Structure formats: C-alpha cells, structure tokens
Amino acid sequence: MTGRAAPEKVTRDQAAPEESPAPDDVLLDTGDQAPPRPVAGARLGVAGWLRWGWRQLTSMRTALILLFLLAVGSVPGSLLPQQGINPAGVSDYYATHRLLAPVLGHLSLFNVFGAPWYAAIYLLLFASLVGCVLPRTVRMALTARQPPPRAPRHVSRLPFSVSYTTALAPEAALESASRLLSGRRFRLRTGPGWVSAEKGYLRDAGNLLFHIALLGVLVSIGLGGLFGYKANRLLVEGTSFSNTVTALDEFHPGRLVSPGDLQPFSVTLNRFRASYVTSGILTGQPAAFDAAISYTATPQARARSYTLSVNHPLKVDGVRVFLIGHGFAPTFRVTDGTGHVVFSGPVPFIPVETSGLTSDGAIKVPDADPEQLGFAGVFLPTAVDVNGQLESAFPAPLHPVVSLVSYAGNLGMNSGPSQSVFSLDTAGLHRLPVAPRPLAVGQSMKLPNGLGTLTYTGYRQWISLAITYDPGQMPALISGIAVLAGLLLSFLVRRRRVFVRATAGEGGGTVVEAGGLTRSDAAGGFEDEFAGLAAELRRQHQDGPGAPGPGDVRAPTDSPVASQEAAPTGSSVASQEAAPTGSSVASQEAIPTDSSLASTEGE
C-alpha cells in the first residue's frame, strides 16, 4: 500500500456521479499539473506547433539542458585566450595556429561571452525560466486564495476519520465545530450538513514567494548585466586617477552603460604597505596589505581618507573598489643623445613570481633622439647572487635592484596596433652592446654611440584596483534570501483539511463524522493534530447543552468492518492509544482491510 494509491481511491470516490459538481479536488492539489503532451502523429497547426514549442521551451528539462549548454559553452572561454581580456594572447594564438585559429575565430571562440550562439543560449534560458515561473506564480496565487473544497460525501473514508453521536442538533454540532476550527485558524467553508476547513496556506504563500523571488533573482542578474560595469586600474603611489573611461586600464561596460554613466569619483594612492612574515617556514608569505588612499566621491566633494585592504573594498557612490594586486614601479630618468630628459617617472613592473616578487617590465622612450630607446628587464626587491645568477630572496624591497637589456631603433609605436606597455616589441629594435649590469638605486647606465643615459632613481609601489558596479547585487541578495525562505515555508508547512458532517441519526441524536487529510508525503504530525482536534470536538459536543447520550458509532458505508463490531457502548477503539470513549480514529489503510486499528505507518 502506497501513499500514491490511497488518494487515488478517494478521488475516484469523490468523482462519483452523485457528487455535486465540485470543482475542487479533495486532495491537496495545488493546481500544478504537468502540461499535457501532444501525441505523436497528431495534426498540429502553426499555432499548435508554436504552443508545443513554447511548452517544450518552458519545461524544466529544457531549462536544465540550456543550463548545461551554458556551462559547456563557457569552457572554450576559459581554455582559449579571449579578445576582451587578453588580445595579445589571441594574436599569439593566430600566429601559432595558422589553420585552426581562423576557424575558431569564425565560431566566435575568441569572444565566447559576446558570441551570438552564447547569447542565444542565455536568452533561451531566460525565456525558459520566465516562461516556466510566471504561469506557475499566477497559478500559485490563485490557489492561495481558494476557499477550502466542499466536504466529501463520505468523510469517514479519508485517511483520518472519527465518528460519534451527540445529542446536539446537527446545526448546533456544526456550529460548534466551526467555532473550534476557526479558533484554530482554519479557513472555513460551510454547506448543508457539512463544514470544510483548511489550514496551512502559508505553504502556498511560501511557494508563491519562492517563485516570485526566483524571478527577482533573474531580473537582478539582468540589471547587473545591463547597467553594471567592471574596470581595472593600476595606480602608483603618489598618483591619482578618476573613474572615467580614459583613466581606466580595462573597461567592461554592461549593455546599457555609456561613458557618461560612470560615477565621477577620484582616488589617490598615498602609500601602500605590504607586510611579510620574516621568520619560520612561512617566511616571505604576505601578512597584510594596506593601501592608504584618499578619495573624493564627486569633483566638488571633500577628500576623505580610507585604508584599502584585501576584501575590504572602498564603497563610493554604489561602486566598490577592490585591492586585487600590488607590485613595484622602479623610477627612471632617461636622457637622450641631444641631452634632453626624455623620460622621467615610475614604470610599473609586473611580478612574475610571488616568493621574491621578481618583476618584469619595459621602459619605452619613443621620443628620444637620434633613435628611439627601449629597455626590458627585471626588478628584484631583494637581490641576491645565487651561483652567479641574480634572484630575489624576499618580496620586500630590502635590496632593490634592476637589471636591464638596452635596445635602440623602432619601437613600433608610431603606427600599427596598440601594444602592451609592459613588454617591448623587439622586431624593429637592435640590442645595444651594453652588459646588463644590475643597477642599485641611484646608479646610471651610459648607452654606447652617444645615444644617452638611463638612471635608476628609485622605486615606488603600485596597486591594482578592480572597480565593480553591479546595481543588481542587493536585489539579487534579497531575492536569494526570499527564495530560501519561500522554499523552507513550502517544505515545512503542510496543507491540512478537516471535514465535518453532521446528520440526524436514525435513533435520534446526531451522527457527527469528521475526517482529516494532508499531503501523504509530509504527514508526520498531522495524525496527532487530528486526534487532538477530534477529541476536542467530541468533548465539546458531549459537554454541550443536552445530556450526551451513549455514543453511537456509525461505520463508513462501504467498510462495514471498520467499527461495526466495536464495543456496543459506542466506543470503537481505533487508534493505538485506546481512546476511552466513542471515537474511531481510523487511518486510510484501515478502510479496505478489515482492521480499524491501522495507522499511517509506512508513509
């Protein structure tokens, strides 16, 4: 005997022809049925196919498949270099895979997240989810407002039932039952000779909340994608930048973001401090990063101080500015062959390893005369000689040294594609015959042929900042919490229905039948609730005006064994804990079998 078969019996019973045309099912159907599927071979018009297509699209299975495709589709995005993030990597790929690269390029595999096929997947997914959630939400809303269904004709066939006789008139008995049930916050519906009550609407409220919040999550994500943006900026100590497109290293705007939409704040990096563990096996590991900054929220606003650290972003005007990296920017002064200072300032070098923060970088002097000059090399925060090889032993600048290779010729900056500021394109350059001698702060390197001089004047530190603006973040969080809350409600709360019928008995008195029903798969606890309710109801009916006669228990019509041969005193002991008076608490299983003692075990 399973829970599935049990309600079916009741349904059939309820659908019996003599039953009044009750639109409601006795069972706890929340109106959520699978869309009927078309039968193969049947004729469909254009509209029919459209409807069929829409049903397929909005089915949960399709949504899952699309979700899977979305995940699979993003795989090449992480395996292949992407145009927006690493254009140099894409060029390299084209150079090394001459045959394959154009094919991949045609498939937009170098710009996966902007590819039409990728957009098709996520738009379909969005449509699928909205198409699935919206109708459900409407259905849920209607269900939540539904009154309880009519009482079934045979209340005693319900999974839980009790019957007894009382001296009260049927109307009075029903009246008192209504009072009891509404006192326990049941929603009531009454009819001739019956009272129908339902409780646990919070379940549907929870379900509704879940669905609406799910839509909220989708909309929030959409908001972020349309109006949000992400940007990166490298900032050297002692310098400032403003949140404007020309000042950003990278800018990934949402679809509806224009340059004028950026929040006009400015940030100055006053000082950056990285502390490292100096003893033990963790020597060289970072202990803390702090960036002392000052910022203005708008050009007119007063400057404020702030200390940026990892996971402690600056929040300004709804934008969050994260500290995501740091490094060194040695400062140089370059004098060209004509004696002019043609370069003077910090040059950010990019760390290539973390234990000693050895960093790579390039200095480009495109306006030197008589020839353009370029230098490429490394910065070593704590330079040590290991078998004739220079290495950095510690990430803090204890002995900061640079070692550079010098070039002259054409830097390739006067025309052609934009190039990285962190590396030299040596195609048009020739290497100058200068031994790459490591320079300490203050030391100079004279170039041959009167081309000029480079001086290593010192170093500063830089930080890299991730600037993110996501207007959908807070709505997404709230929606996410609401999703969970709704889910919990709909899992923890049960819909319970109680029906009471009172009819005049053959031998005088009134026969009261009460039945209870809940979702079979979440029934734990309802048995006790119903038993308590039934006992209370019976007590009220016995205590009511008019002396209680001996209880006359009537058996359910088609299960004569249920309590017919029970004690003639009108007490049928139906449940385990022998109810001392005329009450029969029978469970669903009891009805078809010849035992009135069964309970709902096994559910």
Partner 1 sequence: MFRLPCSPSRVAVVPKARHIAVPKARRVITGVVACAAVVLGAAACSGGGTAQDTAVGNGSSFVAGSYSTTVFKPGSRPAAPAVSAKTLTGTNWQLSADRGHVVVLNFWGSWCTPCREEAPALGALAQHFSADGVRFVGIDIRDDPASAQAFMRKFRISYPSLNDPNDQIALDFHGTAPPAGIPTTLVIDQSGRIAARVIGKASYNGLKALIAQVSAGHS
**Binding segment (CB under 8 A) for partner 1, from list 22-30, 165-173, 183-191, 505-513:** 22-30
| CA 154 – CA 18 distance, rounded (Å) | 12
Among 232, 294, 403, 457, binds partner 1 (CB under 8 A): 232
Cβ-based nearer residue to partner 1, 234 or 555: 234
Among 188, 405, 487, 535, binds partner 1 (CB under 8 A): 487
| CA 373 – CA 370 distance, rounded (Å) | 9
Among 171, 353, 521, 565, binds partner 1 (CB under 8 A): 521
> Judged by CB under 8 A, does residue 124 bind partner 1?
no
Cβ-based nearer residue to partner 1, 466 or 597: 466
Among 218, 378, 533, 553, binds partner 1 (CB under 8 A): 218
Task: List binders of partner 1 among 168-187 (CB under 8 A).
Answer: none
Task: List binders of partner 1 among 81-100 (CB under 8 A).
Answer: 85-88
What angle do helix axes 473-492 and 202-227 make, rounded to 10 degrees? 160
Task: List binders of partner 1 among 349-388 (CB under 8 A).
Answer: 350-351, 364-369
At closest approach, how far in Å is the CB of 169 from partner 1? Answer: 36
> Judged by CB under 8 A, does residue 33 bind partner 1?
yes
Q: Which helix (H) or strand (E) holds 87?
A: helix 87-96
Residue 130 CB coordination number (10 Å): 15
β-bridge partners, 496 = 199, 518
Report yes or no: 603 and 574 within 8 Å, Cβ to Cβ.
no
From residue 298, how far is each of 70, 242, 243, 294, 579 by CA, in Å? 40, 10, 10, 13, 77
| CA 411 – CA 363 distance, rounded (Å) | 11
> Judged by CB under 8 A, does residue 22 bind partner 1?
no
Q: Which phi and psi angles does 468 have, rounded to 5°?
A: -130, 135
Cβ-based nearer residue to partner 1, 181 or 316: 316
Among 190, 468, 503, 595, binds partner 1 (CB under 8 A): 468
Q: Which phi and psi angles does 471 have, rounded to 5°?
A: -65, -15
Name the residue among 290, 299, 298 with its Cα closest to residue 272.
290
Among 22, 32, 103, 114, binds partner 1 (CB under 8 A): 32
Name the residue among 234, 228, 233, 232 with its Cα closest to residue 253.
228
Cβ-based nearer residue to partner 1, 184 or 333: 333
| CA 597 – CA 161 distance, rounded (Å) | 12
Here the tokens at position 76 are 């090449």
**Binding segment (CB under 8 A) for partner 1, from list 139-147, 458-466, 503-511, 526-534:** 458-466
> Judged by CB under 8 A, does residue 248 bind partner 1?
yes
At closest approach, how far in Å is the CB of 497 from partner 1? Answer: 13
> Judged by CB under 8 A, does residue 12 bind partner 1?
yes
> Judged by CB under 8 A, does residue 416 bind partner 1?
yes
> Judged by CB under 8 A, does residue 599 bind partner 1?
no
> Judged by CB under 8 A, does residue 418 bind partner 1?
yes
**DSSP secondary structure string, 451-494?**
TEEEEEEEEEEEEEEEEEE-TTHHHHHHHHHHHHHHHHHHHH--
Torsion angle, CA of 233/237/242/243, rounded to 10 degrees? 30
Cβ-based nearer residue to partner 1, 32 or 558: 32
Q: What is the DSSP letter of 523?
A: -
> Judged by CB under 8 A, does residue 208 bind partner 1?
no
> Judged by CB under 8 A, does residue 144 bind partner 1?
no
> Judged by CB under 8 A, does residue 431 bind partner 1?
no
**Binding segment (CB under 8 A) for partner 1, from list 172-180, 226-234, 564-572, 578-586:** 226-234
Among 198, 237, 371, 470, binds partner 1 (CB under 8 A): 470
